[in-house]
Amino acid sequence: MEVIIQPTYAQLVAVSAEIIRDALLKKPHLVLGLATGSTPIGLYEALVRMHKTEGLDFSSVTTFNLDEYVGIRPNHPYSYHTFMKTHFFNAINIPTENCHIPQSTAEAHEEFCENYEEAIVNAGGIDIQVLGIGTDGHIGFNEPSSSLGSRTRIKTLTQSTLEANAPHFGGTVDAVPKMAITMGVGTIMEAKRCLLMASGESKAEAIAHAVEGPITAEVPASALQMHPHTVVIIDEAAASNLKRADYYKQAYANKQKLLSHRE
Ligand code: PGA
């Protein structure tokens, strides 16, 4: 695991956007795994800016979103379909048919989930999976106790996730859908690269558990310790519970020095 600690959210977003830009310039047919939530919004803004000002081309990119609520229409104002269109897809030149977001009813979800997994494989697998992290350590909607080998499936959301998402549904927990379809931890682990972003003190405990704690289904993000190519990009506040923060900073500074010598 590479841990990159940046002073602010704006800087962690800039580093994340550069990683995606570099990958896209090397591979125009990039397959991106995408996340929703407040954390990646700045990343999408940065990528949209790169598209508009530098002509960063998304015309051959394919995307797979991590998750979507079950039981709300794609055009619901708080669906993840709407989120992705608003914050990203409508502002870049990606063909609509290249954008995949889970969408199914509870009744039909099994076949849908199998097809979603198959579509990822058929696209050649995910090159970079963008991830946020819940205060309880979830990735996607893989709540604590999720199998670390799980695949795309339907999950019941925990009370803490319902509460965290209530502001998006008029402030009432009752209005938040109770279930979601999510890629599994095992699905995420098959991405060639994972980019876990976190900002703010509310994420400090989850980040410390995920990065330095034991690998456990109680903290689904901790499975990423077994992933060969995960980059955790966080700000100082989210890094505030890490025991080895100084070491991570030193390692990153050394890597930057090596890279600048090579250029
Ligand atoms: P957030 O959500 O980016 O809105 O904090 C992250 C998550 O719950 O995965």
pLDDT at 90 over 80: yes
Q: What is the pLDDT of residue 107?
A: 83
For residues 93-101, average pLDDT: 98
Pocket lining: 134 vs ligand 1, CB cutoff 6 Å? yes
Asked if 68 contacts 37 with a C-beta cutoff of 8 angstroms, the reply is no
pLDDT at 37 over 80: yes
Ligand 1 centroid from CA 39, angstroms: 6
pLDDT at 204 over 80: yes
Rounded to whole angstroms, how far apart are CA atoms 160 and 13? 26
| Catalytic status, residue 118 | no
Give the distance from CA 141 to its chain's centroid: 11
pLDDT at 24 over 80: yes
pLDDT at 15 over 80: yes
Domains of the chain from N-terminus onward:
2-262 (3.40.50.1360)
For residues 161-187, average pLDDT: 93
Pocket lining: 38 vs ligand 1, CB cutoff 6 Å? yes
| Catalytic status, residue 22 | no
Pocket lining: 8 vs ligand 1, CB cutoff 6 Å? no
Give percent above pLDDT 70 in the chain.
100
Pocket lining: 238 vs ligand 1, CB cutoff 6 Å? no
In terms of C-beta density within 10 A (0-12 exposed, 13-18 middle, 19 or more buried), how is residue 205 classed?
Answer: middle
Instruction: Tell me the two tokens of residue 235.
Output: 């700000």
Rounded to whole angstroms, how far apart are CA atoms 33 and 195? 10
For residues 62-69, average pLDDT: 97
For residues 192-200, average pLDDT: 98
Rounded to whole angstroms, how far apart are CA atoms 63 and 114? 17
pLDDT at 261 over 90: no
Other C-beta atoms lying within 10 Å of the C-beta of residue 163: 13
Q: What is the pLDDT of residue 243?
A: 98
pLDDT category of residue 100 using cuts at 50, 70 and 90: very high
Q: What is the pLDDT of residues 102-147, one digit of tens each?
A: 998 778 889 999 999 999 999 999 999 999 999 999 999 999 999 9
Q: What is the pLDDT of residue 164?
A: 87
Q: What is the pLDDT of residue 105?
A: 79
Angle, helices 9-26 vs 41-54, to 10°: value is 50
- Which atom number of ligand 1 is nearest to the Cα of residue 36? 3
Give the chain's mean pLDDT. Answer: 96
pLDDT at 262 over 90: no
For residues 225-249, average pLDDT: 98
pLDDT at 166 over 80: yes
Instruction: Tell me the two tokens of residue 239.
Output: 């890094």
pLDDT category of residue 162 using cuts at 50, 70 and 90: very high
pLDDT at 217 over 90: yes
Asked if 76 contacts 43 with a C-beta cutoff of 8 angstroms, the reply is no
**Beta strands 62-65 and 99-100, pairing class:** parallel
What is the 3-class SS of the chain, one letter each residue?
CEEEEECCHHHHHHHHHHHHHHHHHHCCCCEEEECCCCCCHHHHHHHHHHHHHHCCCCCCCEEEECEEECCCCCCCCCCHHHHHHHHCHHHCCCCHHHEECCCCCCCCHHHHHHHHHHHHHHCCCCCEEEECCCCCCCECCECCCCCCCCCCEEEECCHHHHHHHHHHHCCCHHHCCCEEEECCHHHHHCCCEEEEEECCHHHHHHHHHHHHCCCECCEHHHHHHHCCCEEEEEECCCCCCCCCHHHHHHHHHHHHHHHHHHC
